[in-house]
């Protein structure tokens, strides 16, 4: 019962900050408002992190789809919170916090558990931690790319469903996007290498090129090509946004899609 209340508290905090952002749209750069939002998000992160620890580690290593999505968005909010301390990205909270509120609440209503005996292997925990951080960085990058799209359309006075009260300069947003993608690409590379080298040790069977592995490698190629294009040809703007979202779409199919099929359809 106590945990159920805390789930609702975390969801309320995330949604309240996002709603207050739009309510205070005209005064969104007010220092007191920004400090309050930052403090509330920090509180939400602490409570969300404690709930995640209980959900995942209380009775073993329960890495169900609900817990995995909750963990990814906990990390995504954390990445946003840390980035916002240096760069004024408060507009992004309108994109990050609502889905985080949904997925933070998901474990409270999920009846599915997925206990993994491989958790006794330290290498497995490291592999999962790196993978989660990589997915979270790319989730942040995808949401940031959406924000850039809306900001670009607003600057050119093009019609858009969402009117942003404020946003950083596009060059600042673009620099942050590629910085996040670069770190995410390194971590995704480590995830793939660790999976390939230690698949038999971790999972008890050699690497199999199933759809999860294939989509992950395809996503790796897309992000690698994007970074190469940025370095070699100076890609930016719409090209960068499209490749970012394409790579993220493949990652969704690789990880979330495979866990959804296994847990919800095949009940494994």
Residue 265: the pLDDT is 52
Which of 234-239's residues contact partners 24+ apart within 8 Å by CB, and which partners? 236/174, 237/152, 237/174, 238/149, 238/152
pLDDT digits over 74-101, tens only? 999 999 999 888 877 777 888 899 999 9
More confident site: 22 or 176: 176
- What percentage of the chain carries pLDDT values higher than 90? 41
Round the average pLDDT of the chain to a whole number and report it.
Answer: 83
At residue 1 the predicted structure's pLDDT band, cuts being 50, 70 and 90, is very low
| pLDDT at position 256 | 72
* CA distances in angstroms from 248 to 92, 147, 196, 221, 224, listed in the order given: 17, 15, 21, 12, 13
Rounded-to-integer distance, Cα 48 and Cα 77, Å? 10
Asked if 116 and 61 count as a contact pair (C-beta separation under 8 A), the reply is yes
Sorted by sequence, the CB contacts under 8 Å of residue 106 that are 6+ apart come out as 66, 69, 70
- Whether 122 shows a pLDDT value over 50: the answer reads yes
As a whole number of angstroms, the distance between CA 40 and CA 130 comes to: 27
Taking only the tens place, the pLDDT of each residue in 187-233 is 999 998 887 777 766 666 666 677 788 889 999 999 999 999 999 98
Highest mean pLDDT out of 59-68, 178-187, 252-261 = 178-187
pLDDT for the residue 249: 93
Q: State the Cα–Cα distance between residues 240 and 35, nearest whole angstrom.
A: 32
Region of poorest pLDDT, from 105-119, 197-211, 245-259: 197-211
Tokens of 232: 């070699």
pLDDT at 190: 93
């Amino acid at each position: 019962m106590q945990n159920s209340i805390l789930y609702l508290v975390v969801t309320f905090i995330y949604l309240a900050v996002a709603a207050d952002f739009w309510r205070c749209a005209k005064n969104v750069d007010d220092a007191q408002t920004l400090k309050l939002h930052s403090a509330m998000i920090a509180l939400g992160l602490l409570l969300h992190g404690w709930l995640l620890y209980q959900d995942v580690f209380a009775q073993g290593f329960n890495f169900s789809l609900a817990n995995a999505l909750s963990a990814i968005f906990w990390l995504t909010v954390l990445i946003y919170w840390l980035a916002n301390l240096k760069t004024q990205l408060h507009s992004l909270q309108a994109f990050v916090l609502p889905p985080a509120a949904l997925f933070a609440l998901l474990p409270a209503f999920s009846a599915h558990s997925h206990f993994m005996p491989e958790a006794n292997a330290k290498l497995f925990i490291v592999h999962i931690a790196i993978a989660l951080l990589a997915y979270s960085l790319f989730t942040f990058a995808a949401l940031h790319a959406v924000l850039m799209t809306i900001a670009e359309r607003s600057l050119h006075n093009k019609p858009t469903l969402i009117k942003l009260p404020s946003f950083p300069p596009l060059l600042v947003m673009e620099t942050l996007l590629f910085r996040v993608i670069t770190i995410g690409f390194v971590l995704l590379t480590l995830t793939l290498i660790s999976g390939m080298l230690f698949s038999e040790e971790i999972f008890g069977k050699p690497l199999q090129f199933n759809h999860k592995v294939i989509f992950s490698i395809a996503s790796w190629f897309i992000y690698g090509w994007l970074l190469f294009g940025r370095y070699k040809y100076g890609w930016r703007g719409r090209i960068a946004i499209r490749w970012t979202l394409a790579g993220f779409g493949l990652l969704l199919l690789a990880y979330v899609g495979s866990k959804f099929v296994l847990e919800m359809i095949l009940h494994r």
